[in-house]
Chains A and B, each alone.
Chain A
Amino acid sequence: QQQVKQSPQSLIVQKGGISIINCAYENTAFDYFPWYQQFPGKGPALLIAIRPDVSEKKEGRFTISFNKSAKQFSLHIMDSQPGDSATYFCAASMEGGSEKLVFGKGTKLTVNP
């Protein structure tokens, strides 16, 4: 049973465009939702994270939007750059559950120059 569903599987965006990646979760006990960026051959790097008591969090060109009632959250990358080309993973965890991360399957983003 996949607890965090991520879409799309791959995404191609032109330089300067907006990249949008969506995730949906099932377990309402989740209370922490991070996004990770992974380049080929590297480990995932924590990009930005949100808790369900806020609906949006912005850090530079990266924004997380969170919809608690729909159990969905998304990552928006504004002014996408070729250097943003990577695989992005959403994840979820819950307090008291060892805080282990449950990951989506990933979105491979390609930003064309």
Chain B
Amino acid sequence: NAGVMQNPRHLVRRRGQEARLRCSPMKGHSHVYWYRQLPEEGLKFMVYLQKENIIDESGMPKERFSAEFPKEGPSILRIQQVVRGDSAAYFCASSPQGQNYEQYFGPGTRLTVT
């Protein structure tokens, strides 16, 4: 009965490099949400995906950030040319079909940009 899985748990990147964060939803869940948490702040919605579809990306920065949830494999949040301000904890949540309200979070990926 595995929960939401995220990897890596910790990621260090230098400015200008790319960061790839992976999320495997709970078994039977087909919806994935990505949130970002800055230090001492609440979580902020970034993007909502279903298999092969981006449903809502209203919280995604317009540049450098992209997300996908392919038919096979995990969802990926990609940050190109990272800057220090991208340092944060990135959480993925999944929910079952028809019950989007009940979102279950993974342990997060803590990105540090040096």
Contacts and interface: CB of A to CB of B under 8 A. Distances in A.
B103 A89 contact: no
A106 B33 contact: no
Given A100-B48, A100-B59, A43 B105 contact: yes
A46 B104 contact: yes
Contact of B41 (A36, A41, A46, A105): A105
Size range of the interface on B? 20 to 34
Interface string A21-42: 0000000000010101000011
B65 interface: no
B42 interface: yes
Contacts of A99: 48, 95, 100-101, 103
Given A98-B100, A100-B48, A100-B59, A45 B41 contact: no
Nearest 4 CB-CB pairs, A to B? A99-B100, A103-B42, A43-B105, A98-B56
Interface of B: 4, 6, 33, 35, 40-45, 48, 55-56, 58-59, 91, 93, 95, 100-108
